[in-house]
């Protein structure tokens, strides 16, 4: 087995000469190397290829384009597992997600408690603000508020909120007119279902508008390299601002006028989980999908298939229309509240899986940062590994952490007790 030292950007490796070290030994700064079957490059002999992220012990096949067994944001999870924390907060390592898990549990507890006790004011506030507030805290905790231009974040939130308010005010009048059509019941039902479908799909389209506007008007002035997870952040923020504004605009008048005063606790519980959990999570995944598609820039590493990756991202982004059509169908069937909530949560899970697949494809195939293979601490597995596009030990993408985190760790590399730097891989 050869040993490689400090080759940059996947360039030629430097094999040791016979007199430099004996087999099984390595000089400081050198790590064992092997050839990756996915990209054909000599890389540090870990579990994963540091250049393309492929699993080194698995033969190259069609699945290596997706690597479904190991999520690039959370290496301990499968791509097809709809975990909320790693899907909604991709820049955070596993340990940093614990406070957000606690926050989500408190959110659910608040919804359940207020619904069962029929405390309507706080119930509406928690349902409208819970998930969006967690996402804003994520932007602060992960360092994304420093990574992304402040005016881009503010514009995204304001535009999304304004569109949400305008959409509810507009469609509220349309629905009222649809209910008041003085024709036969069959025609009224047919017309109303058509209106509901337009409203459902139209709302999903408007959620994507903030990401499109930022991509066209603001990102051109950004000097830092384009990253797919930046698009996810912008898209999810705009969609959450839309749902926050629309939920508040829709529910607040009902509270003021007393329309929900006589609602049963079970109905309040189902509606609060629907508006406070299912709707914002589905919206965040929808906006994130669109943002990833807009920000994705394919790389030029060996073995890449940028056309196939773009097509896959486009197909999964198109699932947004399918998901919201299914949501319209669930509402149109007029099921009992509990089965309706279960079906809505299944649609949320489908949206989360779709966005996880897109995140995985984007991170595996976008243009990476230049890397030096100098020792670096991986925040996901907490091992010292070469600074590359992917952690050779756990397979996490380097871009699954903020620019600020990467910059700090590169400026302060880990040091051995004897004063030298080295790698665990």
DSSP notation for 196-248: HHHHHHHHHHHHHHHHHHHHHHTGGG--SPP-HHHHHHHHHHHHHHHHHHHHH
More confident residue, 250 or 27: 250
pLDDT of 72 over the 50 cut: yes
| Average pLDDT score over residue span 201-214 | 89
Give the pLDDT score at 261: 55
| Average pLDDT score over residue span 239-260 | 76
Give the pLDDT score at 100: 94
How confident is residue 31, by pLDDT bands cut at 50, 70 and 90?
Answer: low
Most confident segment among 110-124, 166-180, 235-249? 235-249
Give the pLDDT score at 353: 94
| Average pLDDT score over residue span 372-383 | 87
More confident residue, 239 or 194: 239
Give the pLDDT score at 3: 41
pLDDT of 363 over the 80 cut: yes
How confident is residue 351, by pLDDT bands cut at 50, 70 and 90?
Answer: very high
Distance of CA 391 to the CA centre of its chain: 20
How confident is residue 396, by pLDDT bands cut at 50, 70 and 90?
Answer: very high
Integer Cα distance of 84 and 74 in angstroms? 12
3-state secondary structure string across 237-254: HHHHHHHHHHHHHHHHHH
By percentage, how much of the chain surpasses pLDDT 90? 33
Give the pLDDT score at 217: 82
Per-residue pLDDT tens digits for 164-196: 998 888 876 554 444 443 333 333 333 445 566
| Average pLDDT score over residue span 263-292 | 89
- In this structure, of 59-63, 109-113, 324-328, the range with the lowest mean pLDDT score is 59-63
Distance of CA 204 to the CA centre of its chain: 17
Are 266 and 223 in contact, with CB atoms under 8 Å apart?
no
Give the pLDDT score at 10: 39
**Element containing residue 35 per DSSP (H, E):** strand 31-35
Task: Name the pairing type of β-strands 384-386 and 42-44.
Answer: unpaired
| Average pLDDT score over residue span 228-238 | 94
Report domain extents, the chain. Answer: 1-65+368-425, 84-365
């Amino acid at each position: 087995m050869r040993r490689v030292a400090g080759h940059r950007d996947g360039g030629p490796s430097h094999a040791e000469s016979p007199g430099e070290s004996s087999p099984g030994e390595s000089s400081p700064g050198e790590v064992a190397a092997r050839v990756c079957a996915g990209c054909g490059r000599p890389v540090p002999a870990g579990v994963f290829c540091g250049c393309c992220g492929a699993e080194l012990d698995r033969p190259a096949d069609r699945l290596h384009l997706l690597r479904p067994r190991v999520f690039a944001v959370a290496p301990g999870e499968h791509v097809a597992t709809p975990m909320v924390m790693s899907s909604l907060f991709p820049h955070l390592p596993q340990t940093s997600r614990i406070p957000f898990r606690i926050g989500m549990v408190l959110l659910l507890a608040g919804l359940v408690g207020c619904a069962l006790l029929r405390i309507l004011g706080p119930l509406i506030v928690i349902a409208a603000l819970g998930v969006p507030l967690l996402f804003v805290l994520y932007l602060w905790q992960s360092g994304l508020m420093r990574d992304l231009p402040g005016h881009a974040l503010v514009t995204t939130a304001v535009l999304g909120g304004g569109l949400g308010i305008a959409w509810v005010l507009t469609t509220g009048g349309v629905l009222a007119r649809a209910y008041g059509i003085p024709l036969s019941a069959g025609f009224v039902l047919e017309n109303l279902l058509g209106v509901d479908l337009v409203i459902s799909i139209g709302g999903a389209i408007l959620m994507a508008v903030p990401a499109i506007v930022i991509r066209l008007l603001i990102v051109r002035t950004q000097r830092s390299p384009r990253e797919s997870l930046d698009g996810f952040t912008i898209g999810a923020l705009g969609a959450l601002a839309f749902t926050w504004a629309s939920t508040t605009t829709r529910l607040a008048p009902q509270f003021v006028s007393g329309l929900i005063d006589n609602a049963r606790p079970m109905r309040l519980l189902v509606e609060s989980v629907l508006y406070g959990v299912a709707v914002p999570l589905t919206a965040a995944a929808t906006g994130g999908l669109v943002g990833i598609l807009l920000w994705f820039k394919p790389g030029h590493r060996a073995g890449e298939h940028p056309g196939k990756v773009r097509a896959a991202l486009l197909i999964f982004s198109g699932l947004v229309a399918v998901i919201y059509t299914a949501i319209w169908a669930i509402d149109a069937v007029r099921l009992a509240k509990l089965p309706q909530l279960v079906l809505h949560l299944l649609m949320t899970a489908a949206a989360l899986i779709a966005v996880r697949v897109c995140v995985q494809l984007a991170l595996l195939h976008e243009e990476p940062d230049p890397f030096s293979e100098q020792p670096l601490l991986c925040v996901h597995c907490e091992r010292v590994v070469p600074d590359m596009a992917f952690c050779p030990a756990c397979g996490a993408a380097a871009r699954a952490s903020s620019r600020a985190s990467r910059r700090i760790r590169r400026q302060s590399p880990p040091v051995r007790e004897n004063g030298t730097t080295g790698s665990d891989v």
